[in-house]
Structure 1
């Protein structure tokens, strides 16, 4: 099954580790996109795009401001 990762609402990235586990792919994405490092993605988060592709949406952390 093909995987697509959506970071926030704008960025879609093809699977960086198509033969690896979900955790392997997430670790590679976290190296490229450090803002997702403190998020989590689970197998149950998958949404079917079509019969051979699923999408995982990785939420971005809420930006905090002092003041």
Structure 2
């Protein structure tokens, strides 16, 4: 779906997968050198997390951070 690089070189990848139960999930993979973190989020959790990230980004932009 999406892939981008964060400011300190981490690679972030977003993928849609379908769980065995048929539920669509958002897989978030963050690679930092040889380490990686993988999260799988259901639509409701991804929506809640996305809204929180937008709120933070808007506040940080207003403060000039």
Bigger share in strand: 2
Higher relative contact order (CA 8 A, sep 6+): 1
Bigger share in helix: 2
> TM-score with structure 2 length normalisation?
0.24
> TM-score with structure 1 length normalisation?
0.23
